[in-house]
Amino acid sequence: MKKEFAVIGLGRFGGSICRTLAQEGMEVLAIDIDEERVNEFSNIVSKAVVADTTDEKVLKDLGIRNFDHVIVAIGDNIQASILTTLILKELGVQKITVKAQNDYHEKVLAKIGADHIVHPERDMGRRIANNMISTNVLDYLELSDEHSIVELIASKKMDGKSLLELDVRAKYGCTVVAIKRQTHIIVSPMAREVIREGDILIVIGADKDINRFEKNIVDHE
Ligand code: ATP
């Protein structure tokens, strides 16, 4: 059966979630207190309604409890975001993802039991900053405060060397989980796999280990 999603708050973030889910063929109920925003989405999603989600009765009448996943993307009005999340929780919604505006907001959301809290502006800022610091880092995904998955470009220094020769795991404590080479991807490469300059290595590990690895693979002119 198709998963059913409800998205509350149709700003840039909630709107983008709605569009992507709809493009992927998901059932989406889009909700906003602002009629103009709702009208924008009426032809995009399965159903779009004008509602104030801080009203418990409204959420009950919408049958919100039956949705598989509810996303709260109310940004500026932190009070409305918290109250909506609290009501969704009390109504027994299975999975709730909430956009946090700041650290204080995030703390409260965690306390009231939001299943997943996202902080898109902060996370994207960190991601872009990390990409700017190193020319070798193409992309970066934070797994926890201390662990990440990073895409690194293989340098000239690594060219022609196998993973075993580079001794990535023993020397640096991180693992190359895949190698992107032009159009194909080598998943779980063997230790004998030879790296070529320009390969993209997908590396998982503790940030400090990845940093050490990255510093050592950079070509020093
Ligand atoms: P973004 O940062 O994603 O661009 P935004 O700044 O465009 O967000 P916000 O003011 O953060 O918009 O709020 C997102 C949406 O949530 C708005 O369209 C707003 O009308 C809606 N919203 C605010 N309060 C409620 C509420 N109580 N019930 C339903 N929708 C609400």
pLDDT tens-place string over residues 110-127: 999 999 999 998 888 887
Q: Which atom of ligand 1 is nearest to the CA of 84?
A: 27
Q: What is the pTM of this model?
A: 0.77
Amino acid identity for residue 23 in this structure: Q
Ligand 1 midpoint to CA 84 (Å): 12
Select from 18, 32, 52 the residue to mutate for testing ligand 1; criterion: most ligand atoms less than 8 Å from CB. 32
Residue 137 predicted with pLDDT over 90: no
Please tell me the predicted confidence (pLDDT) of residue 95: 97
Cβ neighbors of 128 (< 8 A, separation 6 or more) are none
Greatest Cα pair distance in the chain? 67
Domains of the chain: 4-118 (3.40.50.720), 122-218 (3.30.70.1450)
Whose Cα sits closest to atom 21 in ligand 1?
Answer: 9
Q: Which atom of ligand 1 is nearest to the CA of 80?
A: 27
pLDDT tens-place string over residues 91-103: 999 999 999 999 9
Residue 177 predicted with pLDDT over 60: yes
Amino acid identity for residue 92 in this structure: G
Ligand 1 midpoint to CA 62 (Å): 19
What is the spatial distance between Cα 184 and Cα 157, in angstroms, rounded to a whole number? 22
Q: Give the model's confidence band at 51: pLDDT under 50 very low, under 70 low, under 90 confident, else very high.
A: very high
Q: Give the model's confidence band at 138: pLDDT under 50 very low, under 70 low, under 90 confident, else very high.
A: confident
Whose Cα sits closest to atom 5 in ligand 1?
Answer: 11
Task: Work out the mean pLDDT of the chain and round it to a whole number.
Answer: 92
For residues 188 and 177, the answer to whether their CB atoms sit within 8 Å is yes
What is the spatial distance between Cα 122 and Cα 106, in angstroms, rounded to a whole number? 12
Residues at CB less than 6 angstroms from ligand 1: 8-14, 31-34, 37, 52-54, 73-77, 80
Ligand 1 midpoint to CA 113 (Å): 21
Q: Give the model's confidence band at 139: pLDDT under 50 very low, under 70 low, under 90 confident, else very high.
A: confident
Residue 140 predicted with pLDDT over 90: no
Phi, psi of 16 (to 5 degrees): -65, -35
pLDDT tens-place string over residues 193-217: 999 999 999 999 998 999 888 887 7
Select from 8, 74, 98 the residue to mutate for testing ligand 1; criterion: most ligand atoms less than 8 Å from CB. 74
Average pLDDT on 66-72 reads: 97
Residue 133 predicted with pLDDT over 90: no
Q: 3-class DSSP state for residue 199?
A: coil
Closest to 109 measured CA to CA, from 126, 97, 124, 91: 97
Please tell me the predicted confidence (pLDDT) of residue 219: 56
